Amino acid sequence: MAANRVVLWRHGQTDWNVVNRFQGHSDIPLNEVGEFQAKHAAQILAGMNPTAIISSDLGRARDTAQSLADLTGLTVQIDEDLRETNGGLWEGKTGAENRAEDFQNFIRWIDGEDHPAGTTGERRSEVAARATKAINDALAGKDDQLLVVTTHGGTARCVLGHLLQLPISHWGVVGGLSNASWSIVQTNPRGWHLVEHNAGSIPEPVFGEESGAPAMPDWVK
């Protein structure tokens, strides 16, 4: 049986990414830079001959996925289980605002504790469970696949930590994904292994603490 490969592709840049504003389930569109990033990255991914594309239903991911579909002729299959972490009361606020208003909980969450984001949001374990189910469903009964999963930075880290069988407290050792960059995992007899991480067409910084970026200075609003 030939191995399956999964490309975890983060959406292009949004205005909220640039200012470290927690997006979560908020449906924030790609900005002009993000549209360019998605189209540029799609040219490289198309050359890998993907067999299927699945995507979060949020516009920033869906539009990123469509840039690849336009080149390959594949149809994007939408699955809301690939959404970003529900950030609860933190959504729409910057990292600086969340530190000021909910310091202890925000820092514990950033440091990797598996408690609900923003009090009313999701746990990392819940994000990993729903997103990996979407991936497993897409691969069910198939082999020799190259599945492109267009998703979000936080969700991608949760999936990687889960597939690589890391303790949740260690998922933070997996660096964040830059916008429109990707990681590749591949099946082997012992499970999954990481083939490539944070690859992309253009070197980019990682934006958004929810996606693994370092804290931004207080002067960034």
Q: Closest by alpha carbon to 118, among 21, 204, 31? A: 21
The dihedral built from the CA positions of residue 21, 27, 32 and 35, taken in this order, carries a sign that is positive
Q: Closest by alpha carbon to 124, among 111, 136, 113, 108? A: 113
Q: Is 32 a catalytic residue?
A: no
Of 25, 84, 209, 210, the catalytic one is 84
Q: Is 84 a catalytic residue?
A: yes
Of 11, 25, 152, 162, the catalytic one is 11
What is the phi-psi region of residue 220: left when phi exceeds 0, alpha when psi lies from -120 to 50, beta otherwise? beta
CB atoms within 10 A of CB 141: 4
- Catalytic machinery residues: 11, 84
